[in-house]
A and B are shown apart, each in its own frame.
Chain A
Amino acid sequence: DTGVSQDPRHKITKRGQNVTFRCDPISEHNRLYWYRQTLGQGPEFLTYFQNEAQLEKSRLLSDRFSAERPKGSFSTLEIQRTEQGDSAMYLCASSLGGDSPLHFGNGTRLTVT
Chain B
Amino acid sequence: DAKTTQPNSMESNEEEPVHLPCNHSTISGTDYIHWYRQLPSQGPEYVIHGLTSNVNNRMASLAIAEDRKSSTLILHRATLRDAAVYYCILRAYQTGANNLFFGTGTRLTVIP
Contact = CB atoms under 8 A, between A and B. Distances in A.
A90 to B, nearest CB: 10
Contacts, number: 55
B56 to A, nearest CB: 16
B41 A106 contact: yes
B68 interface: no
Size category of the binding interface on chain A? 20 to 34
A101 B34 contact: yes
A103 B42 CA distance: 12
A96 to B, nearest CB: 10
Interface stretch (B12-20, B76-84, B95-103): B95-103
A3 to B, nearest CB: 9
Size category of the binding interface on chain B? 20 to 34
A1 to B, nearest CB: 13
Interface of A: 4, 31, 33, 40-45, 48, 55-56, 58, 91, 93, 97-107
A45 B99 contact: yes
Nearest to A49: B98
B44 A104 contact: yes
B11 interface: no
Contacts of B45: 104
B3 to A, nearest CB: 12
Which label, helix, strand, loop or mixed, suits the secondary structure of the B interface? loop
Given A45-B98, A56-B98, A101-B49, A93 B43 contact: yes
Given A42-B87, A42-B105, A107-B43, A102 B49 contact: no
5 contacts: A93-B43, A100-B96, A101-B46, A103-B46, A104-B43
Given A33-B98, A42-B101, A43-B100, 15 more contacts: A42-B102, A42-B103, A42-B104, A42-B105, A45-B101, A55-B98, A56-B98, A91-B44, A99-B32, A99-B91, A101-B34, A102-B44, A102-B100, A104-B42, A104-B45
